[in-house]
A = this chain, B = another copy of it.
Amino acid sequence: MSIYYPNEDRQLLAVDCVIFGFDNHELKLLLIKRNMEPGKGLWSLMGGFPKRNEGLDQAAERVLKQLTGLENVYMEQLYAYGEVDRDPGERVVSVAYYSLIKIGDYDKELVSGFDAHWVPVGEIPELVFDHGVMVEKALRRLHRRARIQPIGFELLPEKFSMPELQSLYEGIFQKELDKRNFRKKILTMGFLDKLVEKDKSSSKKGAFLYKFNPEKYQELLDKGFYFSLDV
C-alpha cells in the first residue's frame, strides 16, 4: 500500500482487444469463446488483466500476442469502459484496444487453441458484457481512421493489387467505389510503389502489385499532406 494514496479504492483493471483482419473481400473480427465465468461459453473479445508493473499498452500487446503470436502490429487504444456493472462478476474497468493484422500472418495453432474464430463484421453474434459496444466503437473508429490515414495497408499483405486495395476499402465502408476515381486518388497521393509483378490469382490478365512506401508517406506528411478519402 502506498504512502501517498492510502485511502483510495484499488480496482480490477482489464484490457480487451478488438482484432480486425481482412480476407476474401471481407472485413473480419477475431472472437473467442470465453473460457471462464462469468459468461463462460459466450462469444467474447480476447482480454486480460494488466499486471501491477505492466503498462496498459504492454498488456494489450501481450494479450494480442498470446492469441495471435503477432507483435509490432497496428494497435491503438479505443476507449476505457467504466460502468460499475459492466462485468457481473466484479467491478472491472476495461480499456479496449483495437488492432489491424494481416490475416495471413497469425498463428493458427494458438488461435484454435483459444477456440477463436474469424467472424465477418456483418455477422457478429451477441457478445458478452459490453463487448458489442466496444466492437461498434472500433468499427466507427476504423471508418474514421480509414478516411484520414492509409490504415488499410496494415490489413493487406506487403504486396497487393489495386483491386484488392479497393475491395478492402469497400469492405470497410460497406460501399462500392468507382475504380477509376479510386485509382486516381490513391495513386496521385504518391506513396505507393508499383512493382513489375502481377497477381494472377483472380484474373487471367493479372493485376499489377503495389507496395506501400512508408518513407514517401512520411515525406508527404512532413510537407503538410493530408490523406483523405471521402466515401
Q: Which residues of A contact B (CB under 8 A)?
A: 2-5, 8-13, 36-38, 49-57, 59, 77, 79-84, 89-93, 95
- How far is the CB of A30 from the nearest CB of chain B, in Å? 22
| B51 pairs with A89, CB closer than 8 A | no
Main SS at interface, chain A: loop
User: Within the oligomer, what is the number of copies of this chain?
Assistant: 2
- How far is the CB of A15 from the nearest CB of chain B, in Å? 9
| A55 pairs with B80, CB closer than 8 A | no
| B80 pairs with A50, CB closer than 8 A | no
| B77 pairs with A55, CB closer than 8 A | no
Q: Which 10 A-B pairs have the closest CB atoms?
A: A56-B82, A4-B89, A10-B10, A2-B90, A80-B80, A8-B49, A9-B52, A80-B95, A55-B83, A11-B13
- Provide the bound-state CA to CA distance between A51 and B93, in Å: 12
